[in-house]
Amino acid sequence: MSIGKLLVLILGLAAVAFAAKFALTGTMTQDPAGASRPKRQLDDVRVKAKDLERQQQKAADEVGEKANER
């Protein structure tokens, strides 16, 4: 393999790696809030899950109370 082909291969791989990084991050620079965004989303999901659990427990308690009244 000649030096020219090796150089073209290395530059091609570098271009593909750069394109993949750009496609995955979506920006050219690092977003300072990017690291906390997944944590914030996970926290939001946890809050919503607890809220749904609370609502379901309340509904189950109401059904239980209605069944006991009969």
Residue with tokens 């394109």: 19
Are 28 and 22 in contact, with CB atoms under 8 Å apart? yes
Q: pLDDT-derived band of residue 23, with 50, 70 and 90 as boundaries? A: confident
Q: pLDDT band at 7, cuts 50/70/90?
A: very high
In this prediction, residues 12-30 reach a mean pLDDT of 83
> For the chain, what is the total number of helices (H) and then of strands (E)?
2, 0
Q: What is the pLDDT of residues 31-40, one digit of tens each?
A: 665 668 888 8
Percent of the chain with pLDDT over 70: 84
- H helices of 1-70, in order, are 3-25, 37-69
Burial class (CB in 10 A: 0-12, 13-18, 19+), 52: exposed
Segment 45-61 shows an average pLDDT of 94
- Ordered by start, the domain boundaries in the chain are 1-30, 31-70
pLDDT at 36: 81
